[in-house]
Amino acid sequence: MRDAVTSLIQNYDVTGRYLDRDAVDSLKSYFATGTARVQAATVINANAAKLVKQAGLTLFAEQPELIRPGGNAYTTRRYAACLRDMDYYLRYATYALVAADTDVLDERVLQGLRETYNSLGVPIGPTVIGIGIMKDLVKAEVQAAGLETGPYLDEPFDYMISELGEKDI
């Protein structure tokens, strides 16, 4: 897993360039938001189970057909699998938040997910909606903890939504 610093240095190294003003500004931004990102991750970690449970309840209230007979979250096993997947998305979003880099999402979550879900008959649309719900819940939880929210908090969730939602919503 890479972070914003490693990715930036690797990109400059590959092209054989010294760090320029843009690189230095990017590093300044990374370090300026570092404390906020770690504090937000601490809030997420402390409330992960509650966030996932609430996201699931909200998703199923908005999309009740998912938990009805024939729905993709019908039966206890499928319902639990849905919540397990939401927990994965939240955990990896937290990693990407701390790293200020979405590479971990590509490597561990997004590569192959669409194919896996399609082969299992799992609709991507509700997954995207669930990730959006978690994003809103995370922002509210971080704000309730008295911490500043900003674009850094949205980025991992928005990235997953964008990558998964392009073709299926």
Give residue 166's pLDDT. 63
Q: Are residues 28 and 45 in the same domain?
A: no
Sign of CA dihedral 69, 74, 75, 78: positive
* Domain ranges, residue 27: 1-32
pTM, entire model: 0.89
Give yes or no: residues 41 and 25 share one domain: no
R_g over Cα of the chain = 18
Same-domain check for residues 89 and 137: yes
pLDDT of residue 1: 74
Counted domains in the chain: 2
User: Which pLDDT tens digit goes with each residue over 52-90?
Assistant: 999 999 999 999 999 999 999 999 999 999 999 999 999
C-alpha–C-alpha distance, residues 12 and 15, integer Å: 5
